[in-house]
Amino acid sequence: MTKPLPQGITSEQFSAAMAEIEKVVGHDYVFLDDIKELRSYRDPYNTTSDADFAPSAAVAPRNIEQIQKILSIVNDYKLPIWTISTGKNFAYGGPAPRKPGYIVLDLKLMNKIIEVNEKH
């Protein structure tokens, strides 16, 4: 299957954006391989083609600063993102984006409660 790209984004723009994101989070936290790495970001109950909800990439930041930098990069390139925490809400399609080509922002590595604001 051909990797879906976000609508209106060239492969050169996508590659440049992903290279910038890789500098932020490191190679091990950017997932681009459709067969090995992106399978877990598909809808396990999809009744149509896998291509209907296929992500173009997934990124797993480890802290707020990385999220801020990633959001700045995707904003600069006008890339759509789909955020998940664990991707286990299968009633809503699990971790799969609702449109093909989105970049999944996977927050699974942010697994600690740092602060509880009882006022808000």
Assigned domain for 113 exists: no
Assigned domain for 112 exists: no
Instruction: Note whether 72 and 81 are within 8 A (CB).
Output: no
Assigned domain for 96 exists: yes
- Average pLDDT, stretch 91-115? 76
| Of residues 75 and 44, more confidently modeled | 75
Please provide the average confidence, as pLDDT, over all residues in the chain: 83
What domain range includes position 71? 11-106
Q: What integer pLDDT is reported at residue 111 of this predicted model?
A: 75
Assigned domain for 5 exists: no
* pLDDT band for position 70 (cuts 50, 70, 90): very high
pTM assigned to the model: 0.81
Assigned domain for 118 exists: no
CA 90 to chain centre: 17
Instruction: Note whether 86 and 65 are within 8 A (CB).
Output: no
Nearest CA to 5 out of 70, 61, 79 is that of: 79
Number of domains in the chain: 1
Q: What integer pLDDT is reported at residue 21 of this predicted model?
A: 98
Cα–Cα distances (Å) from 70 to 11, 28, 34, 39, in that order, read: 18, 15, 21, 22
